[in-house]
Structure 1
């Protein structure tokens, strides 16, 4: 009788209204039950990384004990802790791309810590693209990419070229260091622009970027880089226990130099013993179905080594042994 009466009362009420009404009570009941469960344990509910008293970035020691710095750092550490899928995938991808970009940073005299800037810019995803139009591992805007020597058009977009984009980023970072003489200022300027950082330093009478009042995105930026460094120093602190086989290995490839127009990249891929999909995967800077080569310009195209193309987790080597537990 009670069920029939309830059915009559609920008849005509949209299902979504019923769910929105009942759902909060179900959630409350779940948590009350969890708290009363003798088998529940507070230390298994979450892993929260403690804010260190200081951190070293590009050789400089940053004091994090002041309340505002402590709380900003805490926010970014919690973000890395609880955005599990993004944090874990960033580490997996870094195993593939850190070995490529770190030697380029060193070659250009850029501190290795800037690999963490790349990590927060793109989550180590070479195909990353922001809503504003920034693209690639280093998230160059089209105009900025061209300014630093990258070809950007409808056929070729070298913001997606891992090696060339890294060299372009090094040019920017070196130029900014020549201006500021401080790597933290350089890192902040990568987000806000050199002009904006200089302007705010003059207006606020300080050269210390961490003491500037900035828009939230830029104010968080440096602390996100610090948090990324802590994450990559020891992922187990965040509760991430990865095995070597979980990491993405470097891709074995061969190269061909192209100096004549390719009218059909799919046909070209087939003639090279691979697929169009793999061609685009290894060369994300190829943005169309053809590749014009004008005025004798040459392009280096990567092609997969078919003998080593299959995934073999037993042969995956970690870039840093501290990333894994095996």
Structure 2
């Protein structure tokens, strides 16, 4: 064998040896085996199980007809989606602890069933969001509707982001819709599709209630999403949510200041021993760094209790 052929032979043998060693290395990375049978699941693995449905449930005192197969299945779907959509539902529980105490008294004062607090929750998650259609704030109110119900929407101010005033406007709409439709369940559906849309569907399909209607996908699911969140909130532990009380977001403690003159909001915040960011967190309805106040007008700012 020549020296060149011997060198080639050694190179090929060395390469083959490296491949064998690498292959054995990969074999060591396979899942750990217990008793040669049970494979240890990866971190984050969820042992998903089916969730039993409640024997009965209602929205605003109106019973849900779970004896109707498709109604039962639609609730089943939304209950499973929201039970296993862990990160979303956890933060709904956290934020609700802050904002339910603000919303509930206003609903009660206006004769609106308490279950409508879950409508606001599924609309926005209690975040100041804007939809692709232009609806804004906790109650996802359109600009035209906001003005119709007495909310100011301008360059400086957008009261759709005012938790108390927007809730009052929503209550005014809900009571009006109930006078038209006569059912709180239909009112909830109308918040998604509009009173005219629900009324037309009832007339065209010769139906009398929400659960008998064939609707567009979003409205078809809408009330069931509310029902699912209501059911989970009734007993979070039963649906796999172990939420420690200290992890919930605490309600804000407010002080109030009446502002009767135009102000630079950055300077105003600093004068009250806080930064502009904190002022905006407590007053998300302020939309600019300046606020122009007209003659005979005034605004009430919410401040951290210690900053008045």
**Which bin holds the TM-score, normalised by the shorter protein?**
0.7 to 0.9
Name the CA distance, whole Å, in 1 between partners of 2:216 and 2:73.
17
Matched, 1:290 2:286: no
Counterparts in 2 of 1:304 and 1:48: CA distance versus 1, 3 Å: farther
TM-score (norm 1): 0.81
Secondary structure (helix, strand or coil) at the match of 1:118 reads: helix
Name the CA distance, whole Å, in 2 between partners of 1:282 and 1:79.
32
Secondary structure (helix, strand or coil) at the match of 1:214 reads: coil
Indicate the larger mover: 47-56 or 197-206: 47-56
Deviations 1:87-116 (A, max 9, x none): 011111111110111010000000111111
Name the CA distance, whole Å, in 2 between partners of 1:269 and 1:46.
49
Question: What is the aligned partner in structure 2 of residue 84 from structure 1?
Answer: 86
Name the CA distance, whole Å, in 2 between partners of 1:173 and 1:160.
18
Q: Does structure 2 conserve the Cα–Cα contact (< 8 Å) formed by 1:53 and 1:63?
A: no
Gaps of 5+ in 2: 1-14, 20-29
Question: What is the aligned partner in structure 2 of residue 68 from structure 1?
Answer: 70
Q: Does structure 2 conserve the Cα–Cα contact (< 8 Å) formed by 1:133 and 1:142?
A: yes
Q: Over aligned residues, Cα RMSD in angstroms?
A: 2.5
- The Cα of 1:39 is off from its aligned counterpart by 6.6
In the TM superposition, 1:44-193 aligns within 5 A as: 45-125=47-127, 127-193=128-194
Name the CA distance, whole Å, in 2 between partners of 1:193 and 1:276.
38
Question: What is the aligned partner in structure 2 of residue 268 from structure 1?
Answer: 268
TM-score (norm 2): 0.85
Q: Does structure 1 conserve the Cα–Cα contact (< 8 Å) formed by 2:272 and 2:307?
A: no
Question: What is the aligned partner in structure 2 of residue 21 from structure 1?
Answer: none
Deviations 1:191-239 (A, max 9, x none): 1000000001110001211111111000000100110110110111220
Secondary structure (helix, strand or coil) at the match of 1:50 reads: coil
- The Cα of 1:145 is off from its aligned counterpart by 1.2
Q: Does structure 2 conserve the Cα–Cα contact (< 8 Å) formed by 1:150 and 1:159?
A: yes
- The Cα of 1:4 is off from its aligned counterpart by 7.9
- The Cα of 1:306 is off from its aligned counterpart by 3.3
- The Cα of 1:269 is off from its aligned counterpart by 0.4
- The Cα of 1:183 is off from its aligned counterpart by 0.4
Name the CA distance, whole Å, in 1 between partners of 2:96 and 2:307.
24
Task: Decide which structure has the larger Cα Rg and report it.
Answer: 2
Deviations 1:25-70 (A, max 9, x none): xxxx87x99x952677xx9602543222421211121121322111
Q: Does structure 2 conserve the Cα–Cα contact (< 8 Å) formed by 1:49 and 1:237?
A: no
Secondary structure (helix, strand or coil) at the match of 1:129 reads: coil
- Paired residues in the alignment total 281
Counterparts in 2 of 1:37 and 1:140: CA distance versus 1, 3 Å: same
Deviations 1:104-133 (A, max 9, x none): 0000000111111111111122x1222222
Name the CA distance, whole Å, in 2 between partners of 1:279 and 1:3.
69
Secondary structure (helix, strand or coil) at the match of 1:221 reads: helix
Secondary structure (helix, strand or coil) at the match of 2:290 reads: coil
Indicate the larger mover: 202-211 or 54-63: 54-63
Indicate the larger mover: 161-170 or 132-141: 132-141
